[in-house]
Structure 1
Amino acid sequence: MTLQIEINNQVFVLHNTGALYWVEKRMLLISDVHLGKISHFRKHGLALPIGAIFKNFSKLDKVIDHFSPEKICFLGDLFHSSLNNEWHLFSDWVNRTELSIILVAGNHDVINPEKYNDLNIKVVSEWVIENFLLIHDPKVRDGLFTFSGHIHPSVRLIGKGRQFLKLSCFFRSSNQMILPAFGEFTGTYVMQPKDDDVVYVVTKEDIIMMKADGK
């Protein structure tokens, strides 16, 4: 279910929901939840099951119960679109969670920041903590290790008989890590690892580390 790693003398725990826990800061990093997406598509006629709306909140509760963090930083695209009925569910979730929440705004975060302020959620464009950069769109910046989202990274695993499996992943290069999309029905983008990249594949049960050569 989890895998512990170290970056710049700090300990991070990868969870198979797609969340990342920063041990020293007691903070969860979560990217691309895309709340409201299911309601948005249902409104436009796509027949998605209404029960799927609650899966994102169940996943959030699961990872909070596991780590008992003091705060959560959402790395962008927390809400997929303009306000819809899922905002009320989110508001209720925030009120019962009672954690400090920071949103690093992403390209889908078009809701007026005042709505987040009303929930005591701080909205920023980026956040530098010590020698780490927290941002939505992956960026390389000298002297900082970047945590980001936006890409919805995945890898394609090829088996015998031309069979293949596409799985979400944490994608790590020398100075950054891109988190998988946390939300349901978000889609993925297949990455092509280079020699020095490390991929942490997310399965239903575990996190599996793989080098670019497949080992």
Structure 2
Amino acid sequence: MSKRLALLLTLAALAAVAGLWAAQRFFPATPPLSAPALPAMQALTLFPTPRAVPAFTLQQADNKTLTSAQLQGHWTLVFLGFTHCPDVCPTTLAQLAGAQKQWAALPAATRPRLLFVSADPERDSPQLVAQYAHAFHPDTLAATAALPQLQAFARALSLVFMKVPGASGTANDYSIDHSAALVLLDPQARMAGVVQPPLNVKGITADLETLTKTTR
């Protein structure tokens, strides 16, 4: 990870903490009396109150769009990466494929989902992103978008990414530094929590099964 990305991640974390403090200080939330307490988690960190995510439109293969409306009804893990990623992306997707195999026993209508979003639209077409993600597990949702839309989407989920030129200086010689954390969206497509690396895949699997069975 570059020093610049580390600084961006630190600033993003500080901004998130400051925003949460301000919200609790000046706008204390009182949950509905009927709202059940969320179960204890092994690997996920759940927010006390889910955060609304601004409307977004991502591009999938075959000219299909992906919006927040299509994620409703499922708990969804969002992972930001790119297909030329040498280590973090393939490792993470391979690990989560094990969780997806376990989730296959759950009803399709409420089964947890994994959404892989490429932050490299210059090289990653929607078709290439889909081929890459589906090589790990066919149920993975895969998408990308134009850079401005990607930046807005990542910012809404407190994720960051940046282009890092390679040693040769040629146009296609670059990498993408990006957040390694996963973001959890609830069945209303709100930001409900995060998963920090290193990943506890067994814990993630169990947590999502529990949430799917006990919440709506």
Q: Higher helix share goes to which structure?
A: 2
TM-score exceeds 0.5:
no
Q: Higher strand share goes to which structure?
A: 1
Task: Please give the TM-score of this superposition, normalised by the length of structure 2.
Answer: 0.32
